Amino acid sequence: MGITRRKLLTGSAIVVVAAGAGVLTPMLMQEGRLVSGKPRVGFVNGMEGRIPEQADVVVIGAGILGIMTAINLVERGLSVVIVEKGNIAGEQSSRFYGQVITYKMTGATFLLHHTGKQRWREMNAKVGADTSYRTQGRVDVPLDEADLEYVRKWIDTTSKDTG
C-alpha cells in the first residue's frame, strides 16, 4: 500500500491547516495582541527626568535582544542604560511574534539560536514576570526521500550538539 497523490495532498492540507492554527491562535488571544501605545512588557518602567550622565554601556533598543544584553551586562557588574524610541518589545521583537526558529539551521547559527531559546526560557524566573516566551510545535513535511534523509541527519547532528 503506497502513498497516493490524493493521500499526500489531503495529508499536506491537514498539516497546513494545523500549522496555520498553531501560528494564528496565540496572535488572536488577548495576551498576544499588540495594542498601539501599550507596551507588551509591563514589568519594565520608564524613567522620568534626565538620562544618567555616566554609564559603562548604553544599549540602544529595548527589544528582547537589548533587554537580555542589558541584564547580562548588569550581572557582570557594569552600569547600563537602555534607550528605546518606542514601546518596550513593541518593535521588531513584537513583529516576529517571539519566534526563535532553529529548524534546519546548522553549525554556529544553530547553536546561537538554540542558546537564545534556552536563555529566553529561563528569563521569566530571572525577572519574575511573563516575558511572553512560549514553546509551540512546528510541522514541516519532507518533500522527498532526499529531504527526509537531510532532516534525519539534522536531528542526529543537533541532538549531539545540544547534549
Same domain, 93 and 39: yes
- Count: domains in the chain: 3
Provide the domain limits for residue 66.
34-98
Same domain, 109 and 91: no
At residue 42 the predicted structure's pLDDT band, cuts being 50, 70 and 90, is very low
Report the candidate in 90, 83, 97 with the shortest Cα–Cα distance to residue 36.
Answer: 90
Per-residue DSSP letters for 75-107? HTT--EEEE-SS-TT-SHHHHTTT----TT--H
Cell numbers representing residue 121 in the block: 526560557
d(CA 105, CA 71): 27
Same domain, 89 and 38: yes
Same domain, 106 and 144: yes
Verdict on whether the full-model pTM lies above 0.85: no
SS3 60: strand
Same domain, 93 and 132: no
d(CA 15, CA 9): 10
Would you say 115 and 102 are in contact if contact means Cβ atoms under 8 Å apart? no
Stretch 3-14: mean pLDDT: 72
Same domain, 89 and 106: no
**pLDDT tens, 141-155?**
889 999 999 989 988
Same domain, 124 and 163: yes
Same domain, 117 and 157: yes
- pLDDT for residue 46 is more than 70: no
Same domain, 141 and 113: yes
Same domain, 66 and 113: no
Report the candidate in 125, 134, 127 with the shortest Cα–Cα distance to residue 98.
Answer: 134
Report the candidate in 73, 29, 75, 36 with the shortest Cα–Cα distance to residue 55.
Answer: 73
